[in-house]
Amino acid sequence: MPRWKPDAAERLETAALELFGEQGFERTTIAEIADRAGLTQRTFFNHFADKREVLFRMGPDLERALVAEISAGDADLPALDTAVRAMGVVADEMLEIRRDAAKRRYSVIAANPELLERELGKNAALTEAIADALNSRGCDPESAFITAAAAMLAQQTALRAWTRPGETRTLRELLQHSVRALRTTVGAS
């Protein structure tokens, strides 16, 4: 039996991150990405609408996993803890092994305002999905949105730290740290 092989989308993402790192996002063509991955441009377009989208390959999987974990959470837990627990599970199961790829990805995105804007748009859509999942568990829409946005704020703060050179704590540890910092900040009055 062959060992598990990355699927086409993952191979394209890996090739794209290598090329973006070597020669920049703007100067890399879709033809070069497909070539590096040993695939055709047609296959690229079967998976991604444009060159930018290859940087957001994990988005739909992460959203599905997060929404499933929120739905599976203990009904007695406060909404923010429900969202943060789900983010911790997803961090351990899907993100921790991808730290190097995440670092490369963030350096590409941070260098390009259009990519950064798209990242922010994707995060806003993910916030809405988390809010919907919390709302389905009985949280009123306003609290669900504020809770989702607060959890995303903690998650984004943790991701910034996690991809920083020299940082060795896991994403889950950094997430717990940023939630404590958020509680301190917002609680102090």
* Residue numbers at the binding site for a copy of itself (CB under 8 A): 78-81, 113, 116-118, 120-121, 123-124, 142-143, 145-147, 149-150, 153, 156-157, 178, 181-189
How many Å apart are CA 151 and CA 26, to the nearest integer? 33
Our CB check for a copy of itself shows the closer of 8 and 149 to be 149
Closest distance between a copy of itself and the C-beta of residue 86, in Å?
A: 15
Closest distance between a copy of itself and the C-beta of residue 189, in Å?
A: 6
Angle between helices 113-136 and 141-162 (to 10 degrees): 140
Closest distance between a copy of itself and the C-beta of residue 27, in Å?
A: 22
Assess contact for 70 and 137: CB atoms under 8 A: yes
Closest distance between a copy of itself and the C-beta of residue 156, in Å?
A: 8
Our CB check for a copy of itself shows the closer of 32 and 81 to be 81
How many Å apart are CA 8 and CA 2, to the nearest integer? 16
Our CB check for a copy of itself shows the closer of 14 and 127 to be 127
Assess contact for 21 and 33: CB atoms under 8 A: no
Our CB check for a copy of itself shows the closer of 2 and 113 to be 113
138: left (phi over 0), alpha (psi -120 to 50) or beta: left
